Amino acid sequence: MFAHLKTAHAESSVLVYTGLSLGEIWQRPGLARILQGLGQGALIDVLVAGRYNQQLPVNRGLRSSRNQELVFLTNRHSPEEFEFDNEAEAILGEDGSVVITGFPTAEMLVQFGKGL
Amino acid sequence: MSAYVSVDVAFEDPEAILEALKELGFTTVEVHDTPQQLMGYSGDLRQQRANIIVRRRHIGHSSNDMGFIKGEDGKYSLYISDYDRNAVPGKLGLKGYAAFEGKLKQTYAMSKIKKQAAKERWSFKMDQAKGGKLTIRLSKFQ
């Protein structure tokens, strides 16, 4: 799938979230090969690795908790690009539906998880 | 982490209910700790009771009172007469009761998010999109 994305959508970047830590990925040969790109260059540009830890919330950028690692596997992006304030969108439909998208902070998710 | 979360809307916050009613044009509203009887269009007392009441004179010429009653679970339910299920949406320029209920929930959710944003010190910016959809941008600066 990643190889297909890289060839069919070469102009797009591939960013992957995984609950596995980098160490856990390297212990699994199949996954490690994806990171190494099977000799064709990395198939993933940016990897966010590690489980969300609600004791270590962070409200900035792509990471949700401080233990998560932002790994740059190609030169396509730099860490500075991902240093942004979290912003979420609440989309309120005329039918009374509410959907939250974007990058809510951990506390926003907790609040909205309780319902409105 | 990028989110796509569907949020349940239930009428639990009386302040947000009042704000929603105000947004819809019902500015004179009674609030009671103990539910009070609703009145019909001729001034007759109805069996239904409510904690938050919009009296009939503030709705329309032939209307009955409408109101929200608080349940044991803390959630409020709307009581609106059969007549006003048609009349109230029409007064607000909405087509049918489902549209009114949706609009009420949408306005309530907007009030609730606005209140939460103030409490949690999130920045709050609202856009009205075409078709009546509301988009609220929320962020927390570090």
Interchain contact B73–A (C-beta under 8 A): no
Q: Which residue range is the domain that position A29 belongs to?
A: 2-82
Flag if B133 and A94 touch (Cβ within 8 Å): yes
C-alpha distances in Å from residue A110, one per residue of A105, A113, B87? 9, 5, 39
A23 with A46, same domain? Answer: yes
When divided into structural domains, chain A yields a total of: 2
Q: Which residues of chain A have pLDDT under 50?
A: none
Flag if A107 and B120 touch (Cβ within 8 Å): yes
Flag if A116 and B99 touch (Cβ within 8 Å): no
DSSP state of B131: G
Taking CA A6 as the corner, what is the angle to CA A5 and CA A9, rounded to the nearest 5 degrees?
65
- The predicted pLDDT at position B33 comes to 97
Q: Which residue range is the domain that position B117 belongs to?
A: 14-139
- The predicted pLDDT at position A39 comes to 53
Which chain A residues are Cβ-neighbours of B20 within 8 angstroms? none
The position carrying tokens 């005329």 is A94
A45 with A67, same domain? Answer: yes
Which chain B residues are Cβ-neighbours of A17 within 8 angstroms? 1-2
- Give this prediction's pTM: 0.73
* Least confident stretch, B5-14, B18-27, B114-123, B133-142: B133-142
A72 with A113, same domain? Answer: no
A105 with A69, same domain? Answer: no
Residue B2 included in any domain? no
- The predicted pLDDT at position A81 comes to 86
